[in-house]
Structure 1
Amino acid sequence: MKVTVIIPTLNEAADIARSVSSAGCAEVIVADGGSRDSTREIASGLGATVMETQRGRGLQMDEAAKTATGDVLVFLHADTMLPEGWFKEIERALVDPGTIAGAFGLRIGSTHPWFRVVEAVVRLRYRALGLIYGDQAIFARKDEFFKAGGFRKLPLMEDVDCVKRLRGLGRVRLLKGSVVTSPRRWEAGGMVGNTLKNGLILALYMAGVPPERLYEIYYGRQ
């Protein structure tokens, strides 16, 4: 089994070294959407293949997937680190031919007790609704990923949309290990407020509100 780790970036100089390094000796493709900091140089210096694409996380990941040489793809956010033993966990999951994709649990890199609540909500979200988000390092067999249509060009929820289509082709599993993601987006938007806003966006998405409108609501643009 060969794995390609794909990391979409835009001005991620502060975090990219940790995410690339967490991939170990796997092929790493950094799909950059026009960074103006040293993201590309840092990633390249650590051995990652860096490609420039148009901006848009789903589009960036999709373009990188087309150049990947691995038969399994892992989509890793730039502020997130894969856990130790991640390769073996994926390998064990894919021994089952019916399993075509999956993701890891989520751990937030902060000791603040509120984040333990967020982590519990993520677990509950999976058990109750089967939902997996991109910050959990989604992985998929490459052929099944393309068969499902890859990531659509959506401004928001491209990860949930893709996993939904993958479920139509086979089993999607949540692994025991957990990625570690930065708390920055919760801290920037307010821990409670950001969590509530995420819940609102999910509820609206499940009610059929278009991703374009969700983007406007999430980022406060009219």
Structure 2
Amino acid sequence: MTAIATVSIIIPVINEANNLPHLFANINSLKPMPQQVILVDGGSNDDSIGIVRSFINELVLGSECKIDWQVITSKAGRARQMNAGAALATGDVLLFLHADTRLPIDAIDSISRAMTLANWGRFDVQLNSRQPMLWVVSALINWRSRLTHIATGDQAIFISQSLFAQMGGYPNQALMEDVELCKQIKGITKPACLKSKVITSARRWQQYGTWRTIVLMWQLRFDYWRGVSADNIRQRYYK
């Protein structure tokens, strides 16, 4: 029987008040549960921090805290936030999770089994939409990731604490920090590409249009590949 890894889930948060209740419900449904969850707020101006603290207080008062929940603040920027959370992590494995992404119920067990063969990995992803085109997009993301050994943050990247420290954490850049970290790690060791799926929000695709978003994403990836700065790419991504 595979030993269950001790997993610290690190979640960068900024203005995610609407997503947080669903996130908490998802994490509390995991079997087995993670050892620790660290939410890192990057300066939310909604009620994200208040919702997190109320949730944790309710768990403590109800003596239902089977997970070490923590909430901290840091400067804005996903890389900064995730590195700040990693600095407090006590698990052998770090799982970086977006606030709008939901894990499969057996995620911790899947990670434990994967980590017997690899030092890092990611899940397949499914965009949360009934649009057939977004099913195709999800499949293409997974295919590309399996082919290139590059993962995005929506795929719930996990990595051993020791390898993450060896790499110096996420590079402190405005965007594509996940891509850059994967580029560096894959030169050392290949990832575990789990077929088990995480479900992630399709809100950007729905807000800006499927085809427009597809074209933009490919343009940004190509530009980053040819050396365009992360700051430049961030400006276009959030335009």
Using structure 1 for the length normalisation, give the TM-score. Answer: 0.93
What pairs up with 1:47-86 in 2 under 5 angstroms?
47=56, 48-86=69-107
What pairs up with 1:103-122 in 2 under 5 angstroms?
103-122=122-141
Contact 2:83 2:170 (8 Å CA) reproduced: yes
Contact 1:3 1:71 (8 Å CA) reproduced: yes
Distance 1:93 1:204 in 2: 32
Aligned counterpart for 2:177 among listed residues 155, 158, 173 = 158
What pairs up with 1:4-43 in 2 under 5 angstroms?
4-24=8-28, 25-26=33-34, 27-43=36-52
Distance 2:48 2:235 in 1: 27
The answer on 1:175 being equivalent to 2:224 is no
Amino acid at match of 1:138: I
Aligned counterpart for 1:139 among listed residues 130, 143, 158 = 158
The answer on 1:88 being equivalent to 2:92 is no
Contact 2:77 2:174 (8 Å CA) reproduced: yes
Determine the structure 2 residue equivalent to 1:102: 121
Cα deviation 1:73-104 (Å, max 9, x = unaligned): 000001111111001100000112xx111110
Distance 1:175 1:44 in 2: 32
Moved more, 149-158 or 17-26: 17-26
Amino acid at match of 1:76: L
Compute the displacement of 1:190 (Å): 1.2
Aligned counterpart for 2:145 among listed residues 107, 126, 137 = 126
Contact 2:124 2:194 (8 Å CA) reproduced: yes
Distance 1:44 1:23 in 2: 16
SS class of match (1:171): coil
SS class of match (1:28): strand
Moved more, 182-191 or 86-95: 182-191
The answer on 1:201 being equivalent to 2:220 is yes
Amino acid at match of 1:218: Y
Alignment size in residue pairs: 218
Q: CA RMSD in A?
A: 1.4
Distance 1:143 1:66 in 2: 12
Compute the displacement of 1:130 (Å): 2.2
Distance 2:190 2:39 in 1: 27
Compute the displacement of 1:23 (Å): 2.5
Compute the displacement of 1:129 (Å): 2.2
Moved more, 169-178 or 130-139: 169-178
Distance 1:164 1:17 in 2: 33
Determine the structure 2 residue equivalent to 1:45: 54
Distance 1:74 1:22 in 2: 15
Compute the displacement of 1:217 (Å): 2.6
SS class of match (2:87): helix
Amino acid at match of 2:91: G
